[in-house]
Amino acid sequence: MKTSMRHAVTPLILAVVCQTGLAFGGDVHWISGDSEMGNVPEYPQAVEEVPLPRPIADALLTPPGTEGEWFAETASAFPAWTLDYRARGFFDSHTSYEFGTPSYSPASKLDWSLDSKWHGFEVGLETPTSRIFFEWLTPIERGIDGNMADYDWLTPSDPSQLDSLTLSSLRWREGQMIDFGGMMQMTNHFFGWPIEIWPMLGFRWQRFSMTGTGVDEIVPPNGPDPAYEGRDMITFSQQYYIFYIGGQLRTNVRLWKTPVAVTFQGDWGGTWGYNSDHHLWYEDYGIHRYTMESTSGGSTHLAFIAEAPVGRRFSVGLRIEHLAIYTTGSHRWVMSGATTPVDERWTNGVIVNSDQTSLTAYARVRF
């Protein structure tokens, strides 16, 4: 029944199409092909194709592929070297250490702001399915936005009582950051989506060397101390060593007519820290006082990266990321000079941690 109806209706439809084409003044062309009905006519030339809306068309025409494929027409053939200039700003970022006494903790905590501007370079070597890189950054200027906050809990009968809080302005003595790593493409599809998976390994090293100046007493609320105005009160050096493992998810999108390579990165790292401070104001009394922490733990790092081509062989990118470090270990207190010598160690309440949130802009050239 259905077959006989189809044989009856199909000639009628073809006749209508032919008549419509002739009515519009177009010619009906035929193509060869085998089917139940023999030859099948093309659409009349006079019938125009209705275009897709531009955003939909762009989305459908966006090809999947690696970051390298986006730049295949404008970059040199792979493998390719890359060189970046990078500028990074830290905000809501700090590094701190604290320790307790044998009976309670914390007894003291020093928190150092890291809010500042950095710059440097990255060198990379990439292929369509692999990449290695080396990044080095240092502060642009000596100033640091924020303070060093020194907390002390000095009442054993009430460990929750904050007895002293002072603030000191900060400046850089030295700062460096290194990030060295590599990654390889594992797959270019994720559950059918054009999302690439790139496992990665790497190493980060950070050194923060700062000086705290002046004393502003917040608890008790005595305000700035004129005796120490403009004087350097303490120096501090912190180093972190991080061996990390993680991965990237990559895909490509179009922003208006511009292709953009989008990357989400997540990694975890085994972390070792070492820090030392020198209480300079003790030198007024001929006393050399240092405190040091040796710690280990872990760090978690998340990043979102977007990169777009600009002309031939050049691209620009933005990177927003957060690094959280948490370590524990031992505290060492050393005093010498015009005092009874002291060299003691303990572990109660020793915590060294850092939260680093940053925005990086970079310009890249491939050659």
Cα–Cα distance measured from residue 266 to residue 304, given in angstroms and rounded to the nearest whole number = 9
Q: How large is the average pLDDT for residues 267-287?
A: 96
Cα–Cα distance measured from residue 340 to residue 289, given in angstroms and rounded to the nearest whole number = 11
Three-class HEC string of 279-335: EHHHHHHCEEEEEEEEEEEEEEEEEEEEEEECCCCEEEEEEEEEEEEEEEEEEEEEE
Structure tokens at 139: 């502060």
* DSSP designation for 36: T
> Is the pLDDT confidence value at 66 over 50?
no
Domain coordinates in residue numbering, the chain: 2-41, 54-366
C-alpha closest to that of 250 among 237, 241, 259 = 259
Structure tokens at 267: 């990694």
> Is the pLDDT confidence value at 23 over 70?
no
Q: How large is the average pLDDT for residues 106-131?
A: 97
Residues 320-335: pLDDT tens digits?
A: 999 999 999 999 999 9
267: phi then psi, degrees, rounded to nearest 5: -155, 160
> Is the pLDDT confidence value at 83 over 60?
yes
> Is the pLDDT confidence value at 58 over 60?
no
Structure tokens at 290: 């240092």
> Is the pLDDT confidence value at 25 over 80?
no
Q: Which band of pLDDT confidence, cut at 50, 70 and 90, is reported for residue 257?
A: confident
Structure tokens at 272: 């070792």
Calculate what percentage of the chain has a pLDDT beyond 90. 72
Residues 227-251: pLDDT tens digits?
A: 899 999 999 999 999 999 999 999 9
> Which sign does the torsion angle of CA 243, 267, 260, 361 carry?
negative
Cα–Cα distance measured from residue 76 to residue 313, given in angstroms and rounded to the nearest whole number = 7
How confident is the model at residue 77, as a pLDDT?
A: 53
285: phi then psi, degrees, rounded to nearest 5: -110, 15
pTM of the model: 0.79
Least-confidence region, from 62-76, 93-107, 248-262 = 62-76
Q: Which band of pLDDT confidence, cut at 50, 70 and 90, is reported for residue 57?
A: very low
C-alpha closest to that of 266 among 196, 317, 307, 321 = 321
Cα–Cα distance measured from residue 87 to residue 89, given in angstroms and rounded to the nearest whole number = 7
How confident is the model at residue 241, as a pLDDT?
A: 98
- CATH architecture assignment, domain 54-366: Beta Barrel (2.40)
- In degrees, rounded to 5, the angle at the alpha carbon of residue 217 between the alpha carbons of residues 216 and 222 is 115
DSSP bridge pairs for 200? 183, 246
Distance of CA 294 to the CA centre of its chain: 26
